[in-house]
Amino acid sequence: MTTRHIKQLTLLGHSTTRYPDSPDTARLEAFPNAYKGRNYWVRFDCPEFTSRCPITNQPDFGHILIEYIPDRLCLESKALKLYLFSFRNHNTFHEEVVNRILDDVVKAIKPRQIKVSGKFNPRGGISISAEAQWPEE
């Protein structure tokens, strides 16, 4: 990776971190895929995901798994962490969380293939799992 590519990663290497307050203000960053001639899977496992119920405003806790085959770009992990953190005070349904993450990652890096899974803790005795993938089969 060249110095030019490193300078494009604006969230890494700072002594202070600005936490975005919503997914709309968060920024996903990427770096060039050094192995774009090969298909390989990248997995990000976020077992402490939090968002808020759009009806009750109560916190919802879940486990998000993002799996993708990069094309030209790879997701930078700190930017992804801050992006996922931005859902903490965001009111949304579980199904929307998974689809929003998928759409935002596809827009940011245009992977060859991606799957986003969410397994959310029970609320009222029912747990919800949702999965979205691109391209659709």
> What is the pTM (predicted TM-score) of this model?
0.88
Tell me the three state secondary structure of residue 133.
Answer: strand
What number does CATH give the domain 3-134?
Answer: 3.30.1130.10
Q: Is the pLDDT of residue 24 over 90?
A: yes
pLDDT band at 16 (very low <50, low <70, confident <90, very high): confident
Query: What mean pLDDT is predicted for residues 5-27?
Result: 76
Tokens of 50: 């939090």
User: Which amino acid belongs to residue 41?
Assistant: W
pLDDT at res. 10: 66
All residues at 6 or more sequence positions from 16 whose CB lies less than 8 Å from its CB, including other chains = none
Q: Is the pLDDT of residue 137 over 80?
A: no
pLDDT at res. 1: 57
Domain limits, the chain = 3-134
> Of 117, 113, 18, nearest to 62 (Cα)?
117
Residues with a catalytic annotation lie at 53, 60
Q: CA distances (Å), 77 to each of 2, 52, 60, 81, 106, in order?
A: 18, 23, 23, 6, 15
Q: Is the pLDDT of residue 31 over 70?
A: yes
Q: What is the pLDDT of residues 57-100, one digit of tens each?
A: 999 999 999 999 999 999 999 999 999 999 999 999 999 999 99
